[in-house]
Amino acid sequence: MSTAGPNPNIGLTTISRTVASLAVGVVQTLERAVVGEARMRTARGNAWEAVCADRARADRRAELDRLVAELSTTRAAARRERARQPVS
């Protein structure tokens, strides 16, 4: 007979993984209870939020580019107008 005990493979890392797994389960159950099943964060929801954020950033960047182009056009026109006026 062996004197090694019931499971010689259980170590500190196995216990840590088990505790972490149980903690994740508790957090998920708590999240379900607090925010509701329909409002739980999922990978799909996270990906969609990232897509929407990227689109919003692209829209803001395009608007800023448009404003900068408009400003540079206005300044160039003002410089041309000043260049045409005679110096007193």
- pTM beyond 0.85: the answer is no
Q: DSSP states of the chain as a string? A: ---S-S-TT--HHHHHHHHHHHHHHHHHHHHHHHH-GGG---HHHHHHHHHHHHHHHHHHHHHHHHHHHHHHHHHHHHHHHHHHSPP-
pLDDT digits (tens, 9 = 90+) for 5-31: 556 666 667 778 888 888 888 887 887
Q: Each residue of 27-47: pLDDT tens digit?
A: 878 877 777 776 777 888 889
Both tokens assigned to 40: 């739980």
Give the C-alpha distances (Å, rounded to integers) separating 85 from 71, 79, 80: 21, 10, 9
